[in-house]
Chains A and B, each alone.
Chain A
Amino acid sequence: MDKLTTVDGRAYPFGMKNVDTDIVIPAHWLKTISRNGLGKGAFEVLRKEPGNVFDDPDYAGSPILIAGDNFGCGSSREHAAWALGDLGIKVVIAPSFSDIFSGNAFKNGILTVVLPQDAVDRLLEVAQGINGTPDPIHVDLESQTVTTQFQDRFTFEIDPFRKHCLLGGLDEIGLTLDQGDVIDGYEARQAQDRPWIVPAAVA
């Protein structure tokens, strides 16, 4: 996983509420056996609408997405995070996220930033451009801040472990496997306390 420390650049001023992962990536894109190339299918339905932000050349390749409340609800498909990553998005800012989506994003090196609605509204203005052309947004994970050239400064909370993994680009599976003996210990206790946990063998 790539390290994520600071992200600078334009932001898609999206802002839509309750965006489910079927909207982020429709089911027919789920037939792949690869994690790559899903950006083509990202927001497919919305991209059929003329003037949508995802096909606006001003925002092509923007590393930040500003979304609305409850972003990523619905299906657990990690393809939604892969699709955003494939578009080049490294940070999603919204008033709230679904639990499953924010976990999936994090596992793919995408930072989800929760900010109050009024902060998100202000960042949407900046992303659209105060003087007509889109203005950049700066996200700093170490200091947990989102700033703009207009002196806006918003701080956000993040789970310390997630922060540690994102900053270091760490492989969570490798970290857990290093604790194999702790897991062995749990399994030994469970075999004593709940021996029936192993499913009955089926012929």
Chain B
Amino acid sequence: MVKPRTLYEKIWDAHVVERRPDGTCLIYIDRHLVHEVTSPQAFEGLRLAGRKVRRPDLTLAVPDHNLPTTPRRDADGKRISIADPESAQQLAALERNAPEFGVRLIGDADLEQGIVHVVGPEQGFTLPGTTLVCGDSHTSSHGALGALAFGIGTSEVEHVLATQTLLLKQSKTMAVVVDGVLAPGVTPKDVALAICGTIGTAGGTGYVMEYCGSVFRDMSIEGRLTVANMSIEAGARSGLFAPDEKTFAYIKGRPMAPKGADFDAAVAWWKTLVTDEGAVFDKTVVIDAADIVPNVTWGTSPEDVVAVTGVVPDPQSFADPSKQAAAQKSLDYMGLTAGQKMADVAIEHVFIGSCTNSRIEDLRAAASLLKGRHIAAGIKHAMVVPGSGLVKQQAESEGLDRIFLDAGFEWREPGCSACLGMNPDKVPAGERCASTSNRNFMGRQGPGSRTHLVSPEMAAAAAITGRLTDVRELLNNEEGVVA
């Protein structure tokens, strides 16, 4: 009798190159995504040691973090150089390193360019049951397709480039179970925020999560990408969804995905990638779908979550004294006071984008609210940054760009943008942004910036009213009159 295994254990076991007596395993890495910020020192390390990339065919390079979201080529097709010399230097390093080491590079102005975590699934590079790494913590996103995917540091990037393996200890397993049906206006982002709010940013440390329950089974692949993306905000390096028919349909026909008989053989194996009956998780967290509402963050940690209908919490209400102090510091930074209604918080900026929420379904959801409406007078800057050139093209073919532009949004080129403010897209100090990104850390969107994490629908709602707004007030309310 074979011991029942979780999905994570099955993928792990299939990738053990060598198991050591102390339990450390040399794990084979099937997929490696490389971007311009966390790779230059790794390639330099290889060069200094005279080492090669072991499997350039399993490696894909895409610049995303630094790129300006303004046009990258002029009317004659000539590069518009990046104004910031350091950003330009990082892009140039990737453009030099990829061909030198035989790695395929999707260029900054290619239609396929985008945020690595949008590009991987879109190109069929991300596959169920594979191990996938990238020098970026939001690599957890790819778990939506059933890939064991996690972020690594630059030394590990170099290790994978040189050996196609990593030395790892097996993680503990956590089942995150959400059963029921999400209410109208409640999105995958709200589910992700609810998880962060429930278990905290360290709740998943040391664990690989598996998302179980009807809410996740019913969720689209893009919704799953949003949830898996934020696994790391709850401390888990990786979060898995068991691949299903939706996954197979999503992958079929994508450029880098298996074709024909290979695809069929792959699907046959992918179908075995489910947690066995009787397998034991080290921890189980249960959230009732009926308890999840449209959420916003009030503080400077993704665990600082409150219903948009709620109020800013009183720091004294936290049991842990160090959390009380942290909450007070957060409120001072955010310019909020305990007891203030979240729906009264005025905002000046709206950012729709990031590897969390920049896919076509996200843009459709935001556009459906913005159609025929306009951003409020108090909004200084609202922008949409599609996750990839292909998302942008699709949105334009559906006329979504016109809806955003008519509503007063800017329509930009793809990249990480204001999620982390490495490029010129920043929120000014002391100003407030309703953002579909994943982190509300101090200074994340620019020094002194104040971030409220929300879903694309809630970002659109905030843009329309000029304050954090319960999206449900705008649903079925075509006139845009807010109660």
Interface residues of A, Cβ cutoff 8 Å to B: 16-18, 20, 22-23, 26-28, 30-35, 45, 68-70, 73-78, 81, 96, 98-100, 103-104, 107-108, 159-161, 172-174, 176-177, 179, 182-183, 185-187, 190, 194-200, 202
Q: Check B155–A107 contact: CB distance below 8 A.
A: yes
Q: Contacts A107-B155, A196-B258; is A31 near B86 (CB within 8 Å)?
A: yes
Q: Check B18–A103 contact: CB distance below 8 A.
A: no
Q: Tell me the smallest distance from the CB of A54 to a CB of chain B, in Å.
A: 15
Q: Check A26–B443 contact: CB distance below 8 A.
A: yes
Contacts of B20 in A (CB 8 A): 161
Q: Tell me the smallest distance from the CB of A126 to a CB of chain B, in Å.
A: 19
Q: B238 — nearest CB in chain A belongs to which residue?
A: A99
Q: Check A27–B26 contact: CB distance below 8 A.
A: no
Contacts of A174 in B (CB 8 A): 49
Contacts of A74 in B (CB 8 A): 137, 232, 439, 441
A176 to B155, CA, bound (A): 13
Q: B204 — nearest CB in chain A belongs to which residue?
A: A99
Contacts of A32 in B (CB 8 A): 86
Q: Tell me the smallest distance from the CB of A105 to a CB of chain B, in Å.
A: 9
Contact of B235 among A73, A190, A197 (CB under 8 A): A73
18 other contacts beyond A22-B420, A73-B205, A177-B51, with CB at 8 A cut-off?
A: A20-B301, A23-B441, A31-B422, A33-B41, A70-B205, A75-B420, A76-B135, A77-B153, A78-B135, A78-B153, A96-B202, A100-B137, A104-B156, A173-B162, A176-B162, A183-B54, A198-B57, A200-B255
Q: Check B265–A196 contact: CB distance below 8 A.
A: yes
8 contacts between A and B (CB under 8 A): A31-B66, A45-B447, A103-B152, A104-B156, A172-B167, A183-B163, A198-B57, A200-B258
Contacts of A75 in B (CB 8 A): 136-137, 420, 439
Q: B258 — nearest CB in chain A belongs to which residue?
A: A196
Q: Check A173–B163 contact: CB distance below 8 A.
A: yes
A26 to B429, CA, bound (A): 14
A179 to B19, CA, bound (A): 12
Q: Contacts A17-B326, A161-B24, A196-B262; is A34 near B41 (CB within 8 Å)?
A: yes
Q: Which 10 A-B pairs have the closest CB atoms?
A: A107-B155, A31-B86, A78-B153, A104-B153, A196-B258, A33-B40, A76-B151, A196-B262, A70-B202, A76-B137
Within B1-33, the residues touching A (CB, 8 Å) are 17-18, 20, 22, 24, 26, 28, 30
Stretch of B70-78, B87-95, B340-348, B463-471 contacting A (4+ beta carbons < 8 Å): B87-95
Contact of B439 among A22, A99, A186, A198 (CB under 8 A): A22
Within B43-63, the residues touching A (CB, 8 Å) are 44-45, 49, 51, 54, 57-58, 60
A108 to B41, CA, bound (A): 13
Contacts of B420 in A (CB 8 A): 22, 27, 75
Q: Check A76–B51 contact: CB distance below 8 A.
A: no
Q: Check B441–A177 contact: CB distance below 8 A.
A: no
Q: How many residues of B contact A (CB 8 A)?
A: 83
B365 interface residue per 8 A CB criterion:
no
A182 to B472, CA, bound (A): 57
Q: Check A159–B237 contact: CB distance below 8 A.
A: no
Q: Check B256–A173 contact: CB distance below 8 A.
A: no
Contacts of B124 in A (CB 8 A): 199-200
Q: Check A200–B256 contact: CB distance below 8 A.
A: yes
Q: Check B205–A96 contact: CB distance below 8 A.
A: yes
B374 interface residue per 8 A CB criterion:
no
Q: Check B444–A22 contact: CB distance below 8 A.
A: yes
Q: Contacts A70-B202, A179-B18, A179-B26; is A18 near B326 (CB within 8 Å)?
A: yes
Q: Check A199–B58 contact: CB distance below 8 A.
A: yes
Q: Check A196–B263 contact: CB distance below 8 A.
A: yes
Contact of A100 among B26, B40, B237, B326 (CB under 8 A): B237
Q: Contacts A17-B322, A76-B137, A98-B205; is A23 near B167 (CB within 8 Å)?
A: no
Q: Tell me the smallest distance from the CB of B343 to a CB of chain A, in Å.
A: 27
Q: Contacts A161-B24, A200-B259; is A194 near B266 (CB within 8 Å)?
A: yes
Contact of B165 among A33, A176, A194 (CB under 8 A): A176
Interface code B350-364, partner A: CB below 8 Å = 1, 0 otherwise?
000000000000000
Q: B88 — nearest CB in chain A belongs to which residue?
A: A31
Contacts of B441 in A (CB 8 A): 20, 22-23, 74
Within B148-163, the residues touching A (CB, 8 Å) are 151-156, 158-159, 162-163
Q: Tell me the smallest distance from the CB of A75 to a CB of chain B, in Å.
A: 5
